[in-house]
């Protein structure tokens, strides 16, 4: 498939030089996962740090997601043919307690994880190359892509509600592979692409 220059430009992720992302290195406390878990003093993680780990980020206008040319371009250029909306809260998500537990188990996927927050907010935690957790606070209008093979997890925050669009290339596969997955093809691919050797090569 070919794209116009406009579509390619519109589909570009936000640039770390001009956009701030709400992300930080987590503390080690085992308190409620919905708390912010900031370190003291706080240790922010920049979009540059996240991009080096393969995480992509866009700030979009969630009020016009049905007609947004940027979202349309991202979907077209990246091949996200499947779209569905998941409403995560006690009253709206079937099998809520189990799902919440599953989302927070550290895992990888054999595809990207693509989430666009339409309402509410939540935390995506990703592991950096030193095995530290970086917590990303995603709110309405944030579109985030976690690369195939990155160790990650998700939790609601204290608002207890996230409405998110889930996108996928073709028929969706949401299967999580819980850690350890160091021999998994997707994990190996991830390290080849974003691991230390790759970044210094």
- Per the annotation, binding residues for Fe(2+) are 107, 109, 113, 152
Binding site, annotated residues:
107, 109, 113, 152
Considering the complex, state which of residue 10 and residue 149 has its C-beta at the smaller distance from Fe ion.
149
Determine the interface stretch with Fe ion among 26-34, 58-66, 111-119, 135-143 (rule: CB under 5 A).
111-119
Q: How far apart are the first and last CA of the chain?
A: 31
- Output the residue with the shortest Cβ distance to Fe ion: 113
Cβ atoms of residues 123 and 155 within 8 Å? yes
Q: Is 113 in the site for Fe ion (CB under 5 A)?
A: yes
- The burial class, CB within 10 Å (0-12 / 13-18 / 19+), for 38 is middle
Six-digit token string for 153? 């997890």
Considering the complex, state which of residue 11 and residue 146 has its C-beta at the smaller distance from Fe ion.
146
Nearby residues of 31 by Cβ (< 8 Å), 6 or more positions away:
37
Q: Is 157 in the site for Fe ion (CB under 5 A)?
A: no
The β-bridge partners of 156 are 122
Q: Is 111 in the site for Fe ion (CB under 5 A)?
A: no
Determine the interface stretch with Fe ion among 29-37, 51-59, 61-69, 113-121 (rule: CB under 5 A).
113-121
Considering the complex, state which of residue 113 and residue 157 has its C-beta at the smaller distance from Fe ion.
113
Q: Is the sign of the CA dihedral 194, 197, 199, 201 positive or negative?
A: negative
Shortest reach from residue 47's CB to Fe ion, in Å: 20
Q: Which residues bind Fe ion (CB under 5 A)?
A: 113
């Amino acid at each position: 498939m070919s794209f116009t220059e406009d579509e390619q430009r519109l589909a570009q992720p936000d640039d770390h030089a001009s956009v701030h992302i709400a992300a930080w290195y987590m503390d080690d406390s085992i308190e409620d996962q919905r708390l912010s878990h900031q370190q003291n003093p706080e240790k922010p993680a920049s979009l540059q740090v996240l991009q080096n780990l393969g995480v992509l980020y866009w700030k979009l206008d969630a009020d016009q997601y049905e007609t947004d040319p940027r979202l349309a371009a991202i979907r077209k250029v990246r091949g996200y043919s499947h779209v569905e909306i998941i409403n995560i809260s006690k009253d709206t998500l079937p099998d809520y307690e189990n799902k919440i537990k599953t989302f927070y188990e550290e895992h990888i996927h054999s595809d990207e994880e693509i989430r666009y927050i339409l309402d509410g907010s939540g935390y995506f935690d990703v592991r950096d190359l030193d095995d530290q957790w970086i917590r990303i606070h995603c709110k309405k209008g944030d579109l985030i892509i976690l690369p195939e093979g990155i160790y990650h997890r998700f939790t609601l925050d204290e608002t207890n509600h996230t409405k998110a669009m889930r996108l996928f290339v073709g028929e969706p596969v949401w299967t999580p592979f819980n850690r350890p997955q160091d021999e998994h093809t997707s994990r190996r691919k991830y390290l080849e692409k974003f691991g230390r050797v790759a970044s210094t090569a």
